């Protein structure tokens, strides 16, 4: 199978996950909660499946930078749910989300722990 397929799915699902997280931050209405959390959960599942598929096809093994990206993925996946439970902490959650994104991008492009 072509790794580009997994790469496109991984990046597209990550964009959707980040977008839905910021939708939850911008408008944490109870009537949108179910739809946003369901869509973010599905996109989160696509991110992890495509990420592991890509790592397997490219035979990366399990280096530290992938572990760091998994931790970032777990944090990002939780943010929308936390935003609906604690809307007063949304500014702090948005900062943490941006930090997780910067760390994940740093890991994938610079791979400091190879």
Q: How many domains does the chain have?
A: 1
List the chain residues with pLDDT less than 70. none
Give, to the nearest 10 degrees, the angle between helix 3-26 and helix 90-110. 160
Does the CA dihedral 87-23-109-3 come out positive or negative?
Answer: positive
Query: How far is residue 92's CA from residue 18's CA, in Å, rounded to a whole number?
Result: 16
Residue 113 pLDDT: 79
Record the tokens describing residue 71, joined without a space: 């931790």
Considering the entire predicted model, what is its pTM? Answer: 0.93
**Size of the chain in residues:** 114
Tell me the residue range of the domain where 52 lies.
3-110
Please classify residue 10 by burial: count the beta carbons closer than 10 Å to its beta carbon, then call 0-12 exposed, 13-18 middle and 19+ buried. Answer: buried
- Encode pLDDT of 22-55 as tens digits: 999 999 999 999 999 999 999 999 999 999 999 9
């Amino acid at each position: 199978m072509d790794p580009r397929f997994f790469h496109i799915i991984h990046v597209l699902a990550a964009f959707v996950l980040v977008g839905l997280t910021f939708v939850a931050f911008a408008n944490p209405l109870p009537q949108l909660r179910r739809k946003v959390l369901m869509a973010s959960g599905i996109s989160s599942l696509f991110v992890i499946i495509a990420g592991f598929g890509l790592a397997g096809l490219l035979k990366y093994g399990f280096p530290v930078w992938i572990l760091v990206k998994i931790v970032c993925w777990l944090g990002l996946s939780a943010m929308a749910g936390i935003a609906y439970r604690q809307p007063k902490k949304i500014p702090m959650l948005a900062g943490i989300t941006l930090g997780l994104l910067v760390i994940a991008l740093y890991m994938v492009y610079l791979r400091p722990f190879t």
